[in-house]
Amino acid sequence: GIQVEQSPPDLILQEGANSTLRCNFSDSVNNLQWFHQNPWGQLINLFYIPSGTKQNGRLSATTVATERYSLLYISSSQTTDSGVYFCAVEKSGGSNYKLTFGKGTLLTVNP
Amino acid sequence: ETGVTQTPRHLVMGMTNKKSLKCEQHLGHNAMYWYKQSAKKPLELMFVYNFKEQTENNSVPSRFSPECPNSSHLFLHLHTLQPEDSALYLCASSQNFGPIEQYFGPGTRLTVT
- In this prediction, residue B57 has a pLDDT band, given cuts at 50, 70 and 90, of confident
C-beta atoms of B42 and A104 within 8 A: yes
pLDDT for residue B35 is more than 90: yes
Phi-psi region of B50 (alpha: psi -120 to 50; beta: other; left: phi over 0): beta
Q: How far apart are CA B41 and CA B61, in angstroms?
A: 18
Interface of A with B in 66-95 (CB under 8 A): 86, 88, 90, 95
User: Residue B31 pairs with which residues in a beta bridge?
Assistant: B50, B94
Q: Does residue A31 sit at the B interface (CB-CB below 8 Å)?
A: yes
With contact defined as beta carbons under 8 Å apart, do B101 and A45 qualify? yes
What is the three-class DSSP state of B74?
Answer: strand
Which of B1-5, B46-50, B55-59, B69-73 comes out lowest in average pLDDT?
A: B55-59
pLDDT for residue B52 is more than 90: no
**Distant-in-sequence, close-in-space partners of B27: CB < 8 Å, separation ≥ 6:** B3, B4, B93, B95, B103
pLDDT of residue A94: 67
Name which of B27, B44, B102 to mutate to probe chain A: the one with the most chain A Cβ atoms within 10 A of its Cβ.
Answer: B102
C-beta atoms of A97 and B104 within 8 A: no
**Distant-in-sequence, close-in-space partners of A39: CB < 8 Å, separation ≥ 6:** A82, A83
Q: How far apart are CA B9 and CA B21, in angstroms?
A: 9
pLDDT of residue A88: 96
10-residue averages of pLDDT along chain A (111 residues): 95 97 95 93 94 97 97 97 95 77 96 95
pLDDT of residue B96: 85
Q: Report the alpha-carbon angle B58-B63-B67, nearest 5.
A: 70
Cβ neighbours of A4 in B, within 8 Å = 42
